[in-house]
């Protein structure tokens, strides 16, 4: 049985082990070009098995990351920042909470104190690692695949389906950020790609940019996508706003730190 901390949270070694296993699995799939051999006997069954294991590992890794570093979780345990033992010979200014009621600090306030106390002892490298861990546990497996597909810097077409106004402008948005990147990445839920792309943009991992004329063929393919066609039916006078997405500076730094094919 794996050792646990007294407060029940997984150890850093356990998290590292799960990260290594998830990385090995994803790296193996990438190196062997797994998706290219789907026509071989039994490969579809094997692919489903690999995806199931991949999802289980990522889910377990996310759970352990949550348990190790989530300040709210820490605030709900006896090992919160308020009771952190002093380090001999080291003087630190810590945030002390005044109990709100019944001699117990409110969890949200205790969680903020935990974060503030973390910031005192964090160096640059530890702060970056913590920041990337926060991003990592917000990603779904499909979003990780999309980020992998974008990691080489290549742009992918994006289309918004909007209502054309009487003056030729843009009205109601029926669909935002539909893209061919999901198919290229081999996501499990192709109809959720617009939402995945929107979330990745919101996290700052992906940038939205101008239309690239060289991608004309891909734009035409995207316009035949079922999700785009369904959105087109929702407006009387549809208009397609073309743009592109590519990995952002933060996304590139994040991927370099988390790329499972290295390390």
Question: In this predicted model, what pLDDT tens digit does every residue of 213-240 receive, in sequence order?
Answer: 999 999 999 999 999 999 999 998 999 9
Q: Are strands 206-209 and 156-164 parallel, antiparallel or unpaired?
A: unpaired
* 97/74 Cα distance (integer angstroms): 14
Higher-pLDDT residue of 57 and 257 is 257
Average pLDDT over the chain, rounded to whole? 76
> Does the pLDDT value for residue 90 go beyond 50?
no
Higher-pLDDT residue of 140 and 260 is 140
> What structural domains and CATH numbers belong to the chain?
141-257 (3.30.110.190)
Using the structure block, give the residue that is written with the tokens 């999309």: 146
Q: Is the pTM of this model over 0.85?
A: no
Angle among Cα 13, 17, 23 to the nearest 5 degrees reads 140
Give the E-state strand segments of the chain in sequence order: 156-164, 170-179, 206-209, 238-247
The pLDDT of 239-254, averaged and rounded, is: 97
Residues with Cβ within 8 Å of 257's Cβ and at least 6 positions away in sequence, in order, are: 128, 129, 132
Which neighbouring-strand residues pair with 241? 160
Q: Give pLDDT, residue 224.
A: 95
Which neighbouring-strand residues pair with 162? 173, 239
> Does the pLDDT value for residue 18 go beyond 70?
no
| pLDDT tens per residue across span 95-149 | 555 455 555 557 788 888 888 887 787 788 888 888 998 899 899 999 999 999 9
| pLDDT tens per residue across span 26-51 | 444 444 444 434 444 555 665 666 66
């Amino acid at each position: 049985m794996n050792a646990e901390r007294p407060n029940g949270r997984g150890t850093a070694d356990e998290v590292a082990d799960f990260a290594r296993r998830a990385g090995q699995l994803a790296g193996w799939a990438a190196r062997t070009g797994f998706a290219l051999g789907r026509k071989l006997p039994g490969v579809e069954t094997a692919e489903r098995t690999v995806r199931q294991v991949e999802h289980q590992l990522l889910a377990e890794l996310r759970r352990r990351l949550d348990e190790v570093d989530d300040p709210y979780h820490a605030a709900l345990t006896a090992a919160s920042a308020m009771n952190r033992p002093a380090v001999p010979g080291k003087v630190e200014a810590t945030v002390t909470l005044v109990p709100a009621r019944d001699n117990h600090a409110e969890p949200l306030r205790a969680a903020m104190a935990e974060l503030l106390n973390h910031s005192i002892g964090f160096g640059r490298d530890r702060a970056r690692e913590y920041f990337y861990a926060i991003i990592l546990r917000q990603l779904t497996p499909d979003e990780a695949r999309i980020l992998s597909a974008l990691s080489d810097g290549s742009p992918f077409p994006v289309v918004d389906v909007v209502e054309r106004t009487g003056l030729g402008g843009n009205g109601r948005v029926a669909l935002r950020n539909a893209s061919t990147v999901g198919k290229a990445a081999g996501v499990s839920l192709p109809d959720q790609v617009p939402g995945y792309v929107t979330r990745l943009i919101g996290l700052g991992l992906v940038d939205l940019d101008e239309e690239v004329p060289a991608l004309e063929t891909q734009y035409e393919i995207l316009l035949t996508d079922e999700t785009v066609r369904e959105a087109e039916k929702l407006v009387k006078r549809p208009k397609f706003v073309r743009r592109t997405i590519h990995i952002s500076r933060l996304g590139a730094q994040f991927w370099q730190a988390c790329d499972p094919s290295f390390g």
